[in-house]
Amino acid sequence: MAHLKPVTKVSDKLRGMLNDAIAREIAVSIQYMWQHVQVIGVKGVAVQGQFKQTAIVEMKHAESIAERLWYLEGTPTTKPTPITVGDSLKEFLEHDVKAEEDAILLYKQIIKQAQDEGDITTAFMFKEILEDEEEHHDLFTTMLEEV
């Protein structure tokens, strides 16, 4: 399918940042889903659903960012950033807290870049996504304290 001409024009830099965001959304979506599958023990069972629910949210992020990038005449990547599952619940959560921290840093940069380029919609979209990532960071940090 050919690209429809977007009203908003953005730089290659911003398109590249959106693809970085997609790559990491795909990665964490797989990371959290495999943690959901591999989690064991009594503590694991208690938190299993949290991994699955978060994985689904991340997949939705990947999809909405990909739709936005496509509109902005970019092609969404299919390649995830490195996936780090871990071997214990504690390790899972350490990787996940780190992943959410990385997301928060990158998405703040994207919001600033999009605002600088007058792309209000992308900035707004990432403000909403950033809110989710801060919730995830809070969730994983709290879970890590209990392990």
Q: By CB under 5 A, name the binding residues for Fe ion.
A: 25, 58, 61, 133, 136
Taking the complex as a whole, the smallest distance from the CB of residue 132 to Fe ion amounts, in Å, to: 6
Q: Which two tokens stand for residue 25?
A: 């959304």
Q: Which two tokens stand for residue 111?
A: 């919001």
Nearer to Fe ion, 118 or 131 (CB): 131
Q: Distance between CA 20 and CA 38 in Å, rounded?
A: 27
For tokens 């990491």, the residue is 24
Nearer to Fe ion, 27 or 72 (CB): 27
Taking the complex as a whole, the smallest distance from the CB of residue 3 to Fe ion amounts, in Å, to: 25
Phi, psi at 96, each rounded to 5°: -70, -40
Q: Name, in order, each residue with C-beta under 8 angstroms of 68's C-beta and a sequence gap of 6 or more.
A: 18, 121, 122, 125
Taking the complex as a whole, the smallest distance from the CB of residue 85 to Fe ion amounts, in Å, to: 15
Nearer to Fe ion, 6 or 56 (CB): 56
